[in-house]
C-alpha cells in the first residue's frame, strides 16, 4: 500500500510517501511495524495522540482495519482555515 | 457550490461580488476571510495540504452545511504554498434567504475546515520555522454543531 | 470605524478589500451583506431613514460591539432611497484577531441594526406598495446578546 | 417642539414634520393631544404597541417626560438591515 506523511511527520521520517508491503491488520499494527524499522519512524510515531490517520483519504481511527485499503496517510492535527 | 484549493492568490472582493451577483434571490451573504497576520517577526506562512483528500474533505463539509441550513450556495477557497503577511489564506461565503442561516453555516464551515480539512501551517520567522499547533479550542468548537 | 449612510450604491467587494487591506494585523474578517431579493413581483425597495438619528444609532451599536468583542475595526454601510432587486442594501464588516469575535460581532451588529437603527423598508410591487412589517423574531434576536 | 413622523405614520398624518406648541408632560400626553386634533392623527396613533418614539434622536418610552426635549419622532418598528 501507499503510505503518505505530511507536515512534521513527513519531516521526521524524511520522505513524503513510500510503498509499504505489509500484512498489518490494523493501522496500529502498521504503526508498530514502521516503528520497529528505524529510529526516524519511532520518533514520528512516538505519541499517537498527536497524530491523525486517513485511510483512502478519509479520517479514521488507529484501530481501523487495513483490509482493502490502498492509501494510508499519517499527519498531525490539521491547522487550516 | 464552488470549492477551490489553489496556490495562486485570489481577490477576496472580486470573489465576494461574483458570489453575491449569482444569488439575486438570496437576501443574505456572509463572507469570512482568514488572513496571514502581519505579526512581529513572521516572514511568511507555508501551507501544506493533502492533494486529493483536501477537495473531498471540503466538499463533504460544504454538503453537510447545505443539509443543515437553508442555503442558496456555498463558496470555499483555500490556498496552499507560501503566503506573505497580509495575504488572504482562505475564504468562505454563504448565501441564504435569511441572515441567521448564512452566519451559522459560515461559522460551521470555518470550524470544520479548521480541524477536518487536511491543511498544515508552518510559520517562517526570522529565527527559524515552526509548525502551527492545533488548538484545543478549535477541536472544542466542533462540539457546538 | 467607518459608518456611512448613503443613497449611492456601493461596491461590496471593493469595500471588503479596502477593509481587509487596512487590517494586516488581524487574522479574521467577516462581512455580511443584505441584498434586495429578486422575489417574484418586487419591482423595487424604497428605504426611508431618520437623518441625524441614523448615524448616531449606528455608531452607538458599533461602539457597543467594540466594547464587547476584541475587534480591530468595524465597518457599516447602509443605503436609503430606491433600490432595485439584486442591489446591496447594506453591509457590515468586522476584523478581529480571532474568528469567533469577528463572527459574533457581525451578528450582533446585524441584529441591532435591524431593530434599533431608524430605517423603514417599503416594497414596491406590480400591485402596489407595502411597508415591510418588523418581525417578532428580529426583536427576539436581541435577547441573545 | 419639532414633531417628526416616519414611514406609515408620516403617510397617515400626511406630513413629515411639524412644529407643535404643547405643555404635554409626557409622550403619552402629547399623543393624546394630537389624537384629539384630527382623525388622521387618531388613525396614526390608534395602536401604540405598533409605534416607537425617539426623543432628541434617542429611543424612548411613551411615559418618558418631555421636559427640555426639542425633537420628538414617531415611527413604526424599524426594519433596516
| Per-residue pLDDT band at C126 (split at 50, 70, 90) | confident
Residues of C with CB under 8 A from a CB of D: 34, 47-50, 52-53, 56-57, 78, 89-90, 110, 113-122, 131-134, 139
Query: What DSSP character marks residue A65?
Result: B
Nearest CA to CA, how far is C54 from chain D (Å)?
Answer: 8
The pLDDT of residue D17 is above 80: yes
| Per-residue pLDDT band at D66 (split at 50, 70, 90) | very high
Q: Where are the beta strands (DSSP E) in chain A?
A: 2-5, 17-19, 52-55, 58-60, 71-75
Q: Torsion-angle region of residue B60: left (phi > 0), alpha (psi -120 to 50) or beta? A: alpha
Integer Cα distance of A9 and A20 in angstroms? 16
Alpha helices in A14-72 (DSSP H): 27-37, 39-44
> In whole numbers, what is the pLDDT of chain D averaged over residues?
97
Contact B62, B77 (CB under 8 A): no
Cβ contact D78–C117 (<8 Å) = yes
- Written as nine digits, the cell of B20 is 453575491
Interface test with C, best of D10, D44, D78 (most C CBs within 10 A): D78
Integer Cα distance of B124 and B41 in angstroms? 9
Q: How close are the terminal C-alpha atoms of chain D, in Å?
A: 30
The pLDDT of residue C24 is above 90: no
Q: What is the pTM of this model?
A: 0.95
Domains located in chain C, CATH noted: 2-143 (3.90.1170.40)
ipTM over 0.90: yes
- Percentage, residues of chain B above pLDDT 70: 100
Cβ contact A77–B117 (<8 Å) = no
| Per-residue pLDDT band at C127 (split at 50, 70, 90) | confident
pLDDT tens digit sequence for A4-16: 999 999 999 999 9
Contacts of B57 in chain A (CB under 8 A): 57
Integer Cα distance of D13 and D3 in angstroms? 11
Q: What are phi and psi of D47, to 5 degrees?
A: -125, 95
The pLDDT of residue C40 is above 80: no
Q: What angle do CA C75, C79, C85 make, to 5 degrees?
A: 120
pLDDT tens digit sequence for B60-91: 999 999 999 999 999 999 999 999 999 999 99
Nearest CA to CA, how far is A54 from chain B (Å)?
Answer: 9
Integer Cα distance of D4 and D68 in angstroms? 16
pLDDT tens digit sequence for B23-69: 878 899 999 999 998 877 889 999 999 999 999 999 999 999 999 99
Burial of A73 per CB tally in 10 Å (0-12, 13-18, 19+): buried
Give the mean pLDDT of C24-48.
91
pLDDT tens digit sequence for A33-80: 999 999 999 999 999 999 999 999 999 999 999 999 999 999 999 999
Task: Give the nearest partner residue to A7 out of B48, B90, B116, using CB atoms.
Answer: B48
Domains located in chain D, CATH noted: 2-75 (3.10.20.30)
pLDDT tens digit sequence for D38-59: 999 999 999 999 999 999 999 9
Residue C95's pLDDT is 97
Amino acid at each position: 500500500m501507499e503510505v503518505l506523511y505530511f507536515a512534521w511527520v513527513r519531516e521526521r521520517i524524511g520522505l513524503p510517501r513510500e510503498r509499504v508491503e505489509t500484512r498489518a491488520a490494523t493501522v496500529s499494527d502498521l504503526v508498530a511495524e514502521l516503528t520497529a524499522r528505524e529510529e526516524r519512524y519511532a520518533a514520528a510515531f512516538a505519541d499517537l495522540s498527536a497524530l491523525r490517520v486517513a485511510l483512502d483519504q478519509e479520517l479514521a481511527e488507529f484501530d481501523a482495519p487495513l483490509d482493502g485499503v490502498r492509501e494510508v496517510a499519517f499527519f498531525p492535527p490539521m491547522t487550516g482555515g | 457550490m464552488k470549492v477551490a484549493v489553489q496556490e495562486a492568490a485570489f481577490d477576496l472582493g472580486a470573489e465576494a461580488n461574483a458570489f453575491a451577483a449569482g444569488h439575486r434571490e438570496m437576501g443574505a451573504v456572509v463572507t469570512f476571510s482568514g488572513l496571514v497576520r502581519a505579526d512581529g517577526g513572521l516572514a511568511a506562512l507555508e501551507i501544506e495540504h493533502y492533494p486529493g483528500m483536501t477537495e473531498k474533505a471540503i466538499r463533504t463539509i460544504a454538503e453537510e452545511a447545505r443539509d443543515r441550513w437553508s442555503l442558496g450556495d456555498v463558496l470555499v477557497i483555500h490556498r496552499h504554498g507560501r503566503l506573505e503577511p497580509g495575504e488572504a489564506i482562505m475564504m468562505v461565503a454563504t448565501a441564504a434567504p435569511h441572515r441567521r442561516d448564512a452566519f451559522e453555516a459560515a461559522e460551521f464551515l470555518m470550524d470544520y475546515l479548521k480541524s477536518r480539512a487536511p491543511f498544515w501551517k508552518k510559520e517562517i520567522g526570522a529565527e527559524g520555522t515552526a509548525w502551527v499547533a492545533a488548538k484545543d479550542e478549535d477541536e472544542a468548537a466542533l462540539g457546538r454543531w
